[in-house]
Amino acid sequence: MGFKDLVLFNKALLAKQIWRILTQPKCLLAKVLKARYYPHSDILTANVGSYPSFTWRSICSARELVENGLLWWVGSGPDINIWNDPWLPGKENNRVSIQQIFPNWTTVNQLIICGTFTWNEELLYNIFDADTVKRILSIPIAGGRSEDLRVWKYEGSGEYTVKSGYRVLSTEHLQNTTVTISDGVIESKFYNSLWALHIPAKIKIYIWRLSNNFLPHLCNLVRRKLCVEIVCPLCKKGPEDADYLMWSCEVLQSVWKSLNIMVPSYDPSTGGNFGVSKRNSAGDIVGAETYLFKDVTDAFMAEARACERALILAAALGFRRVIVEGDSLTVIKSIKKRQNEKSILRPITQHILSLETGFEEIYLFIPRLVNNTAHTLAMEGRRRHEFRVWCDEVPESVQTSALKDCEAWNHRP
């Protein structure tokens, strides 16, 4: 069924009810529990109380999971306490490290310049250390009076799911479990190093399952009498177990080798260098731009910023009917969610929606295979160390990429 520990799974289910109460305070369950147990507070700070019901006591047992995964996305900032609430981006250390509390500043909106909807950098450096300021500056701000939202930091969508809750609980459980190998020697160094890696939790758990022979390969399935054949179905040369799949199968060896490919990656420490190309209905490039964004935390935000910049440029050039092409399906879906968006991209997508009123737009997902023009343009800007607009002639490398993109698109299956 996809889970092993029913206790942890039950807690993840209970946490779902807490999330529902937090995000839907007008639902019947929220109204009943608030009237009975926390009329003057909220569900996260309420006491269990005397003679609680089994339901209330069970819900309270899962509050720690929700509290640890809760994060505030900054809208306009009046509902977020600077010193007490978790609002700094990232999976860990989301609260401000308190060295000295400045009572004159209590809510996040006091750190924002109202007229320009930007962070007050001078004030930030006067209050916080450099690392904290860097994290704050990476938070995008939506224009206008945007609502501050509680989101679940372990899901890109910002919504709590039982699956992600169970994943968090099981990862924490594995981290706290001391694994002893057969000879009695405690094997902890490997697992400490594994859990400290900055990779998705599901990969860590997969490595743990692999090292403990918990994968459903044919040898394990035969041992449990779930099948009768143990020969590797890929190469037909040996028994399919963990060691064989990793080191001996000729078919998989070619796969592992093919994965050893160096690809350009986004580096948040240097910002993002982006390229925007403008083409007419015939596919000819009529202009291009390279642009540098600073304090962008990840690749998804970078793609959203590039889309935002494309619309700003199109508006400045007087375009009224445009097609915006991008190769990030996640960003395109976030934009199409409109007001229901709760991810880190929300302030950017809201600005994009406000820009949308001046256009008749189509957001089209284009595979990277036929979207090399923008990537070539970004690399050209980085190579030249300049950020500029081309209105007439664009670099030859960009023209070549555009021709290849058109050819690939016309011959797509």
Q: What average pLDDT does this structure show over 43-69? A: 91
Closest CA to 278 of 300, 303, 301, 311: 311
Q: What is the pLDDT of residue 385?
A: 60
Alpha helices in 112-249 (DSSP H): 121-127, 130-137, 162-175, 189-196, 201-211, 218-223, 242-243
- What six digits make up the tokens of 364? 């089209």
Phi, psi of 386 (to 5 degrees): -145, 150
- What six digits make up the tokens of 310? 């494309």
Yes or no: is domain 272-410 CATH 3.30.420.10?
A: yes
Residues 6+ positions from 300 with CB-CB distance below 8 Å: 156, 328, 330, 331, 344, 345
- 304: exposed, middle or buried (C-beta count within 10 Å: 0-12, 13-18, 19+)? buried
pLDDT bucket at 38, cuts 50 / 70 / 90: very high
Phi, psi of 211 (to 5 degrees): -70, -25
Domain residue spans in the chain?
6-68, 75-147, 173-258, 272-410
Helical (H) or strand (E) element with 357: none
Phi, psi of 392 (to 5 degrees): -115, -90
Q: What is the pLDDT of residue 33?
A: 93
- 10: exposed, middle or buried (C-beta count within 10 Å: 0-12, 13-18, 19+)? middle
More confident residue, 52 or 344: 52
Contacts 24+ apart (CB under 8 A), 12-16: 12/62, 12/65, 12/162, 12/163, 12/165, 12/166, 12/169, 13/162, 14/58, 14/59, 14/61, 14/62, 15/62, 15/65, 15/66, 15/160, 15/162, 15/165, 16/160, 16/161, 16/162, 16/165
Q: What average pLDDT does this structure show over 361-367? A: 62
Quick: pLDDT tens for 245-298. 777 787 777 666 555 333 344 454 445 556 677 666 666 676 677 766 666 666
Question: Distances in Å between the alpha carbon of 320 and those of 151, 223, 289, 312, 402?
Answer: 35, 66, 18, 12, 23
Question: Distances in Å between the alpha carbon of 292 and those of 35, 197, 313, 392?
Answer: 52, 30, 14, 21
- What six digits make up the tokens of 252? 């998989």
Residue found by looking up tokens 């924002």 in the block: 112
Q: What is the pLDDT of residue 388?
A: 66
Residues 6+ positions from 68 with CB-CB distance below 8 Å: 168
Q: What is the pLDDT of residue 63?
A: 94
Strands, DSSP E only, in 48-186? 70-73, 112-113, 118-119, 149-152
**Under a CB-based contact definition with an 8 Å cutoff, are residues 324 and 307 in contact?**
yes
Q: How far is Cα 196 from Cα 127, in angstroms, rounded to an integer?
A: 30
Strand order through the sheet with 285-293:
272-279, 285-293, 389-390
Residue 328 neighbours by CB distance under 10 Å: 20
For the chain, what is the total number of helices (H) and then of strands (E)? 17, 9
Q: What average pLDDT does this structure show over 30-49? A: 91
Q: How far is Cα 66 from Cα 330, in angstroms, rounded to an integer?
A: 25
pLDDT bucket at 32, cuts 50 / 70 / 90: very high
Please check the confidence at residue 112 and state whether its pLDDT lies above 80: yes
Closest CA to 310 of 335, 330, 340: 335
